[in-house]
Structure 1
Amino acid sequence: MRSIHYIQHIAASLNEGIAVPVTVNPRLRYGDGTCNALTGALALHPVYLDEEQASDMHLQAALLHELGHAHDGLFVVALKILLICAAFWVAMMSMSFAAHSVAPVLLGLIPVMGACGLAWLVTLGREARADTWARARMADFDVYKHLPGEV
């Protein structure tokens, strides 16, 4: 069995020596992982703790894919813009309650809807960009991208 400390060490070595917080989340689907785009924290399925189910190469492919999400600057910028627009809209809602008018809410909805559209467009190629980032760092990425038992 691999330890979380060992996986964090592998993740840091794949991330040019920068430490990466890695946790295990049993609620993920088999072989899945997630990346928090704002913090860079990774979560992997517990299958990656078992060396018999997931080889070191499978672990590296999964970590590289998730690190690809963390290094996807386009998605991070879109997410920050979305959060800023949501905060702006909340401010407009509070102004509308104070002014007893619906106009600020409707005006504030325009940039929020634009940011939602932008975020949706950016997420369309998110998985492909993460795979491209991982392929550039692992020659056999496509061979090890999926675990042997994964459909």
Structure 2
Amino acid sequence: MAKVSMTVNGKSVSGEVEGRTLLSTFLREGLGMTGTHVGCDTSQCGACVVHIDGKAVKSCTTFAQDVAGAEVRTIEGMANADGSLSTIQQAFQDHHGLQCGFCTPGMVMSAAALLADNPKPTEAEVRHHLEGNICRCTGYHNIVKAVLAASGQDVGQIAAE
């Protein structure tokens, strides 16, 4: 067992982990932050995406020890300071970019990373960026629409599917 310390959603945290402890496990079981979902444990579904030092990373294939000293942001840290939904979260709600909600935290985190790097992506760029996130419910159309809306683009002309 080793002690690991990091900053999660602006708060300094630490805990004891085995060398094989995944970041997703540390967040969910060690810190009780269950918003980060685990759907596959193989880095294919994207439900576990968090930000590490500002970059989107799949936490189910990242060891907690490898993140020691880093700044980690999870879906729990996406809301505004007053507790209201962030622009991206609100866009997902407004444009029905979720159904069962299982993939939504990873989708939101991936979308936030895209918009940080590319504030006005095209529809094709959004679709390409979200290729590492699997949704079994929505068909992706409204997710893409939500990301475009969060970027401030007019989505009124995008037909519903």
Normalised by the length of structure 1, the TM-score is 0.31
Higher strand share: 2
Higher helix share: 1
Normalised by the length of structure 2, the TM-score is 0.30
